[in-house]
Amino acid sequence: MRNAINTLLSLLRRDERAVVNIYQAFMSYARILSRTNMINFGFWTQETTSIRQAQEALCTLTGNMAELDTAKNVLDIGSGLSGPAEQWNLEYSFPNSLICIDVNYQALKMSRAIYSKYGYDNEVLGEPSVNTEVTNKQYITKQNGVMLPRVNATATCLPIGDSSTDRIIALESAQHFKSFLEFIRESHRVLKNNGLIVLAIPVITSPQANGMSRIKILNSLRNIRVLGILSLTWASEHYELERIKSVISQEQFVIKDILSIGKSVYIPLTDFYTQDRKEFRRIVLGKESSFLKKITLDIVERIVYRSALKMKQLSLSGNIDYVLIKATKH
């Protein structure tokens, strides 16, 4: 019960530690629902029949946009369980490295354990410190002869040298970074000249507030009114598209492409969840023997369901979108 309360409080705080707590709470259930090691909404087409296919399709779309076929050094920031990186590692040949970076030490540790079951050679570098969120610790997976480092670090303070990488990818993770401005500045520091940054990110499409604090407050209140339950359960910052574009452009990046795919994300994902909801509830609630935990999970699932319905409604009305943004270091 205490863990459930902490998770709900984390939804309100949304700092880095809170985001880690949220993902720790829902990571195993997300894997049950998706049957993958990816935590993303997926890219859905008419041929898509499972969330696994949708998630892999989003990874492929992101990889294509990042031009990974010509990349030598790649950072996957907010890598989670490393599912997307593992897919890219199979699809592309990186001459130097593909490095997974995440603030969640336990996710990196779980990722190593998962892939060790598949027979990959794994090596652990270092021991976790007390402050694991900001300490540089590495988990390495050797897959098909290629080393895949996993580094525990925050997105706004990367343990990477200046002008040392050609690609940065944040697949459905940049909405958690605080601040987004510091993340973009840090990305500019570590990217080589003409290097690419690609974001796959949920956004709000309401007009950007101007610099007046009074208007910003009103704009925030408007977003809360529009988002409804998602203003609490959308476990991320509620970044507006125009604000994101402005920050990227101001930090000496040139935006090369913006791909809007919201209608192929939120609506089919909600339909998929609605269709499989009974089976998902059966699996999740059936795993718990504690009566209190079952009650708590039941409440949480009902909130998630209502949030999904709201997400579909907001997508249909055009209030939220999901975009892929590609920019180059100027």
How confident is the model at residue 238, as a pLDDT? 78
How confident is the model at residue 299, as a pLDDT? 84
Dist. CA 159–CA 200, nearest whole Å: 23
How confident is the model at residue 179, as a pLDDT? 87
How confident is the model at residue 147, as a pLDDT? 63
**What total of structural domains would you count in the chain?**
1
What separation in angstroms does the CA of 222 have from each of 15, 209, 231, 266?
22, 11, 11, 21
CATH number at residue 70: 3.40.50.150
Pairing of strands 146-152, 121-125: unpaired
Dist. CA 183–CA 178, nearest whole Å: 7
- Residue 273 domain boundaries: 2-329
Q: Averaged in consecutive runs of 10 residues, what is the pLDDT profile of the chain (330 residues)?
A: 47 59 65 76 92 94 96 94 90 84 87 62 36 42 63 93 96 91 97 97 70 49 69 73 94 97 96 88 77 81 88 93 96
